[in-house]
Structure 1
Amino acid sequence: MSILTRSGVVLIEQPGGPAVLKYETIDLPAPGSNEVLIEQKAIAVNFLDIFFRSGRFPLPAYPAPIGLEAAGVVTAIGEGVTEFAVGDRVAYYATTGAYAQRRVISVDDIFRLPDTITFDVAAAVMVKGLTAKMLIRDSYKVKAGQYVLISAMTGGVGTLLSAWVKSLGAIVIGTVGSPAKKQLAEERGFEHVIDLQNESLIERVNAITGGSGVDVIYDSVGKDIFDKSMELIKTGGAFVSYGGASGWPQVESLPLAEKNIRYVSAQLNNYTGYQNKKGEALKEVFEQVEKGIFDVQQPSVYSLADAAVAHADMESRKTTGSIILRP
């Protein structure tokens, strides 16, 4: 096997805290049949990565690769590759092992990046944008004039979801975890922002809606706010769960049935748009960038070697919006 180059990579040594992420240099083989070598320019950090690192989503063996999406430039091609050439700008998602300086990958897992989308923007919006699309197009179809409660609205998905929902003419009510994040959300143009450290969720939502409740809740927090959230959904509304940062809630059918509330567990891995890795489902996501609806020009940037720091900052809620690693 001929060695083409070397690459810095981050691996999970064993399940645990951020310190289990270790940076090392490995040898990469030349791309084989139907493969290309990518020089990666921007790598996404997603909350899902924390689940894999912590062991919440167990992996078959350790040390284990980590990371789901990145963007970069093709620097070598293997035998039989005709649809890509050296110099092409490409991106990918849903392919484990993205925390790497360079990567050999199948052409079936990559797509050509539009000229209008930078590497940083691609890494910032692919998985998070597809999550937002799944939530508002498939899990619950948001309509103009509806009250929509979004938890963690300044987080990676929350930032994109809030902007998209607002663009549809719905009334966004967002929760955040600190006064600084409330100020940030308000600076982004959101009127109804609730700081859960200092304000009552129930009192504020009732004041905003006149006691009528919200049509849908998009939640990534889970157990810590589930019971309070259920009190705020109007009859016939929906609770859409797409994460459980504080643990998954105990969902009982009787309270749901009493108010005819639909509970949706939205799992990105089961979303057909996510399963198709050729980028077709991203067209609408990239349109939001081109229209200026998604403001993702200033993600938080860390070096690849500092992936553990990025994870620690994300878990302690120091960051807002998207996080990318720079090789």
Structure 2
Amino acid sequence: MNSAIRIHQYGGPEVLSLDSVSVGEPSEGQVRLRHSAIGLNFIDVYQRTGLYPVGSFPQTLGMEGAGVIEALGPGVEGFRVGDRVGYAMALGSYCHDRLIEADKLVKLPDGIEDQTAAAMLLQGMTARYLLKNSYPVQAGDTILVMAAAGGVGTLLTQWANHLGVTVIGCVGSPEKARLAQEQGCHHTILYTQEDVATRVRDITGGEGVAAVYDSVGQATLHASLDSLRPTGTLVSFGNASGPINDFNVGLLAQKGSLYLQRPTLATYVRNRELLDGCANDLFQVVQSGAVKVKIGQAYPLAKVAQAHRELEARKTIGATVLLP
């Protein structure tokens, strides 16, 4: 038998239940994977609450993990028993063992430890598509990163720096401002004390930024739009403060012919070629030392409810891993 954290209904952290489940043998195209580390991400909260529906109950949560392949199903090519692998955007990681489609997996390089992989794949590949696809940054650009001290924010900041970009980081506390600066933010803004758009205009000589990467959602929408230069791009990739509803697209015209994208990582890793390209780009930049993965906290898998509470309260710093 295998332990898994499942939900039997949508709700708060209290609905996370430690259950015994049977794993079974892998079928066509699948492998059986023994987890060594599991990533915690805000998408897990969205799925627990029902903002992002997860289908029928009971359902094992979690979208990211790393471990070792223990068995191969028929038709699996390119992997062997004993391979160290990782994955992101595959529901069901909150468990010790699982079955998973092989086409979701990437092999881990020798220089990337399992906990690092579990902490970085979803957030790191998100940072990669944000910077290279959603709005492809150019050296000399200035960007604004909301929640700059969070898991995606710290990786995005370092990577943008590596690409020659000036980064303004928006954070909620002096402690997080210090962390954002350590990760390479050239300027930080305390959104709890300062008017974000006014400070951005001051920093940029009145011009505004080329792009805003915003994972906060409703609470920061107008500050993000007002921080952009004419024809700038708002990439809204999360809803930490709640979803954006009833958006008036006419605002994009009024505020300077702006662009708006609401992306998801799944689109950018939707086939083997895209997944390998995205993951390998991330592995290379981490192995080069240009981007360092900070694991701010680790919890036993059985204490995942506590991890969810602290993530929602914005008490976590950097990436978080769960240990089975």
TM-score after normalising by structure 2 = 0.92
State the identity as a percent: 39
Aligned to 2:307: 310
TM superposition shift of 1:50? 0.6
The Cα shift of 1:33 comes to: 4.5
1:194 is the counterpart of 2:189:
yes
Once structures 1 and 2 are overlaid, which stretch shifts more, 31-40 or 207-216?
A: 31-40
Aligned counterpart in structure 2 of residue 292 of structure 1, from 263, 270, 289: 289
CA distance in 1, matches of 2:136, 2:73: 43
Query: Structure 1 residue 25 and structure 2 residue 25: aligned?
Result: no
Rate the CA distance shift 1:262–1:30 in 2: closer, same or farther, 3 A: closer
Check if 1:110 corresponds to 2:105: yes
Unpaired runs of 5+ residues, structure 1, are 1-5
- Which residue, out of 220, 235, 253, partners 1:257? 253
CA contact (8 A) 1:202 1:228 kept: yes
Which residue of structure 2 aligns with residue 3 of structure 1?
Answer: none
**Residues in 2 aligned to 1:280 and 1:188: alpha-carbon distance in whole angstroms:** 25
Q: C-alpha distance in 1, partners of 2:151/2:312?
A: 12
- Using the TM superposition, give the Cα deviation of residue 204 of structure 1 relative to its aligned residue in structure 2, in angstroms: 1.8
SS at match of 1:28: coil
Pair 1:10 & 2:25 matched? no
Please say if residues 304 and 322 of structure 2, whose CA atoms lie closer than 8 Å, have aligned partners that are also in contact. yes
For residues 102-251 of structure 1, what are the structure 2 equivalents within 5 Å? 102-249=97-244, 250-251=246-247
Shift of 1:268: 2.3
Change (3 A) 1:298 1:227: closer
Match of 2:319 in 1: 322
Inter-CA distance 190–62: structure 2 relative to 1 (3 Å threshold): same
1:262 alignment partner AA: Y
- Find the aligned partners of 1:173 and 1:115 in 2 and give their Cα distance: 34
Q: What runs of 5+ residues in structure 2 fail to find an aligned partner?
A: none
TM-score normalised over the length of structure 1: 0.92
Amino acid at match of 1:22: S
- Range that drifts further, 88-97 or 100-109: 100-109
Deviates more, 1:193-202 or 1:172-181: 193-202
Q: CA RMSD in A?
A: 1.9
How many residues align? The count is 321
Q: Distance in 2 between matches of 1:208 and 1:278?
A: 37
- Distance (Å, rounded) in 1 between the aligned partners of 2:173 and 2:317: 11
**2:13 & 2:43 partners in 1: Cα distance?**
13
